Amino acid sequence: MGKFFMAGPWITDHEIKIVEDAMRDGWYENAYYYVETFQKEFAAYHGRKYGIMTPNCTTSIHLLLTAIGIKNGDEVICPECTWIATAAPITYLRAEPVFCDIDSIHWCIDASSVERSITSKTKAIIAVDLYGNMPNMDALIAISERHGIPLVEDAAEAVGSMYKGVRAGKFGIGSVFSFHRTKTITTGEGGMLLLDDDNLYERCMFLRDHGRVAGIPYYNSEVTYKYMPFNLQAALGYAQFQRIEELVDKKRELFYKYKERLSNIEDIYFNTEPEGGVNGVWTTALVFGKSHNMTKKQAMRQIEDMGLPSRPFFYPLSSLPAYPEYEAKYKDKNLVAYDISSRGINLSCAFNLSDEEIDQQCNAIRKILGRNEAR
């Protein structure tokens, strides 16, 4: 009991066949065949003009923030609760991450907190589609347009999600996806930046490959990054992408199994799926309502005592040692983030999870909440 994983991919013979093809023939004139095909088709699927594959999603964010000119002294707004990869590239550029509160229902960045955080130094707003949930994009777009501050969508966790009929990945000047080994579509490590603007695209392509001047071999006009993707990695991504509907359906199936099994427990909250929206549910998150008096720390320890894994809801970034001295500034400001995060955990989202393993986790939740009755 308890030997299952928190996350992991679904790889079939299809992926093996495509990767084998890349291994045999993906060289010489085909050296970027899968990179280009994957970029093009992934972008088109999301209604974007351009796709730029990168070694991971963190580098996609770094590339985009660099391209829009974020620099020392600028402020970039992002949510308190997200993986640190959203904020780290702001820090790489010596700019200041400004952490905003999250919404108590969808757990993504709260638009009114964004509005209150804007100063003359604000140069970008990064919204995150947390656990596949979507923020209030209408409000964020309105703020971005009113203040003339570019909006960036971190859709790392949102393959398959939709907001009012529009796919996650189509919001703001650019969006980013992660193909980390734990994600819905995986390349082990990998990322994709999606754009519509021609100039931004040219700039990002230039920044991705050592600032080479097009048409002049070995001639560089700026010192930039080396964030090039690899054809084998792209072949795996492309093969997974060809199965995107099947992969998202499976994620949603896992989510609804958890929800159904725990449906007779009141005052617990899951990923949201508002009307007109679709949640791709990269991972199932569970927030204990206050009536349960259950913190994530207590829950995780008790679940671990039963021999089962779980993960914490993302910590408020300002509470982490990685951002020393931020807690004092944000703890009393980002009250929802501190509160929700303290009561939330993630359940396993591994593609190979069995029904018995879902039952084990649901029984564990029931037990720690003092509900022993079968469903």
Ligand X SMILES: Cc1ncc(COP(=O)(O)O)c(C=O)c1O
Smallest separation, CB 184 to ligand X (Å): 11
The C-alpha atoms of residue 168 and residue 248 are separated, in whole angstroms, by 13
Report the nearest approach of ligand X to the CB of residue 246 (Å): 22
Question: Of the listed pieces 50-58, 141-149, 218-226, 317-325, which binds ligand X according to CB under 6 A?
Answer: 50-58
CA distance 99 to 76: 9
Q: Which is nearer to ligand X, 156 or 159 (CB)?
A: 156
The site for ligand X, by CB under 6 A, has a size of 14
Instruction: Select the span of 4-12, 55-63, 115-123, 252-260 touching ligand X (CB under 6 A).
Output: 55-63
258/282 with CB nearer ligand X: 282
Q: How far is the CB of 88 from ligand X (least distance, A)?
A: 9
Phi, psi of 77 (to 5 degrees): -85, 135
Q: Which is nearer to ligand X, 86 or 113 (by Cβ)?
A: 86
Contact 335, 231 (CB under 8 A): no
Q: CB-wise, 86 or 361, nearer to ligand X?
A: 86
Indicate the residue among 43 and 57 with the shorter CB distance to ligand X.
57
Binding ligand X (rule: CB under 6 A), the pick from 79, 150, 174, 191 is 191
CA distance 134 to 139: 12
Instruction: Give the interface segment with ligand X, choosing from 7-15, 52-60, 159-167, 348-356 (CB under 6 A).
Output: 52-60
Place of tokens 């080994």: 181
Return the residues of window 78-117 that contact ligand X according to CB under 6 A: 82-83, 85-86
Q: Which is nearer to ligand X, 156 or 285 (CB)?
A: 156
Min separation Cβ 56 and ligand X, Å: 3
The residue (of 83 and 258) whose beta carbon lies closer to ligand X is: 83
CB of 92 to ligand X, least distance (A): 12
Nearer to ligand X, 5 or 371 (CB): 5
57 contacts ligand X (rule: CB under 6 A): yes
Among residues 62, 106, 180, 343, which is the contact residue for ligand X, using CB under 6 A?
Answer: 180
Closest approach of Cβ 83 to ligand X, in Å? 4
Minimum CB–partner distance for residue 282 and ligand X (Å): 8
Using CA atoms, how far apart are residues 317 and 326, in angstroms rounded to an integer? 8
Cβ at position 188, least distance to ligand X in Å: 10
Are the C-beta atoms of residues 3 and 353 closer than 8 Å to each other?
no
Cβ at position 55, least distance to ligand X in Å: 8
Taking the least distance from each CB to ligand X, the nearer of 70 and 85 is 85
Q: Does 58 bind ligand X (CB under 6 A)?
A: yes
54-62, 103-111, 294-302, 305-313 -> range binding ligand X (CB under 6 A): 54-62
By CB under 6 A, the residues from 125 to 164 that bind ligand X are 128, 154, 156-157
Pick the closer one to ligand X by CB: 155 or 365: 155
Q: Which of 178, 240, 334, 348 binds ligand X (CB under 6 A)?
A: 178
User: Shortest gap between Cβ of 351 and ligand X (angstroms)?
Assistant: 17
Listed in sequence order, the residues at least 6 apart from 60 whose beta carbon sits closer than 8 Å to its beta carbon are 52, 54, 176, 177, 191, 192, 193
Structure tokens at 368: 């720690």
Angle between helices 231-241 and 13-25 (to 10 degrees): 150
**What is the binding site for ligand X (CB under 6 A)?**
56-58, 82-83, 85-86, 128, 154, 156-157, 178, 180, 191
